[in-house]
Homo-oligomer: A and B are copies of this chain.
Amino acid sequence: VTGERPGEFDFIARLVEAVDEARRELSGDAVPGAPHGRVVVGGGDDAAVTAPAGVTATSVDAFVEGVHFRRDTAPLDAIGHKAMAAALSDLAAMGAAPGEAYVQLGIPPDFGEPEGLAVAKGLGRAAAASGAIVAGGDLTSAPVLMLAVTVVGHAASAEDLVTRSGARPGDIVAVTGELGGAAAGLLALERPDVAGLALAASGASAMIDVSDGLGGDARHVARSSQAALLIDLERVPVQPGVLEVAAAARVDHWDLVASGGEDYELLVTLPPDRLDAARSAVEATGIALSPIGEARAGGEVSLRHSDGSTRAPSGFDQLRR
């Protein structure tokens, strides 16, 4: 960190280059700044122009130092990576193909150019891993590091997307991957999330990413779908290490599994006759799909233990983070 702040426009150019370098590393694309098919006018103008072929799904996610992450416990490129991956998980939860990303970066007073470039590198890598193009952004001073990410995904038609409102009584409730790891402070897996596309194509009736915790996000689906979700906690796949971390920290590991946030796995409902096909399609991407319950008539969520006891479906409150 130097006392002198780099000129804004040169700094932006180097941030854009860092993002593009991450894209080229992952794509093997040798041409710097090669335009993406959908992006007609890229960054550097007042707005980025794209030519969507069907419908677009747009989601925004903000990450604020001291609220969502701490700089003393996470490297800067991991912070950038996580912010982009979390935003993209909302597209996965719609079954939309990742398209463009836009980043508003708030730079704290003690940041120099190397720190900014490290964040940009992480953002660029996560975008490239999902096939998304960083098409624009905004740079500002801020009291702490802030990343506000906007992602746009694409689908041929709205019928190809999976909302939260389609769960029907009789549907199977399933979850991708394993939960509890993020709440236990374990490193989340870094992979492009194509499971959402596979699930959308396999007949998922409702889908959401488990970023607010299993209980809270199941409640979103239950309310939007006006269906009850009965989840058997012992069937929920738990990430290795969660039990050990919970024991060491003397917390109930079920709290981490059922209420911990930021796992970014997908909670999905499916007609029973679609489960096998969905499972095969998701497992072909290297990710497990575990049935954990069923949908019934109603509008509430029940998290049940095998001994018959239940647990309140509390979610992670963004405003308390």
Contacts and interface: CB of A to CB of B under 8 A. Distances in A.
A57 B57 CA distance: 15
Contacts of A140: 62-64, 67-68, 318-319, 321
State the oligomeric state as a number of copies: 2
A86 to B, nearest CB: 11
Nearest to A217: B46
A46 B8 contact: no
Nearest to A39: B58
A62 B8 contact: no
Contacts of A259: none
Contacts of A319: 5, 8, 11, 107, 139-141
Interface in A266-318: 317-318
Interface of A: 5, 7-8, 11, 40-41, 44-52, 54-64, 66-68, 90-91, 93-94, 96, 100, 102-104, 106-107, 135-144, 146, 148, 150-153, 158, 161, 163-165, 207-209, 224, 317-321
Contact of A49 (B55, B100, B143, B208): B55
A161 B8 contact: no
Contacts of A321: 140-141
A281 to B, nearest CB: 20
B46 A208 contact: yes
Given A41-B161, A47-B59, 10 more contacts: A5-B320, A45-B224, A46-B94, A46-B164, A47-B57, A58-B100, A63-B140, A67-B141, A104-B104, A146-B146
B59 A209 contact: no
A136 B90 CA distance: 12
A225 to B, nearest CB: 11
Contacts of A102: 58, 60, 150
Main secondary structure of the interface of A (DSSP, over half): strand
B106 A62 contact: yes
Sorted nearest first, the 10 A-B pairs with minimum C-beta distance are A148-B148, A47-B57, A47-B59, A62-B104, A46-B93, A46-B90, A150-B150, A104-B148, A60-B102, A40-B158
9 contacts: A41-B163, A45-B164, A47-B58, A49-B58, A50-B56, A50-B58, A58-B100, A64-B143, A106-B146
A47 B7 contact: no
Contacts of A52: 52, 55-56
A57 B62 contact: no
A62 B62 CA distance: 11
Nearest to A211: B46
A320 B4 CA distance: 11
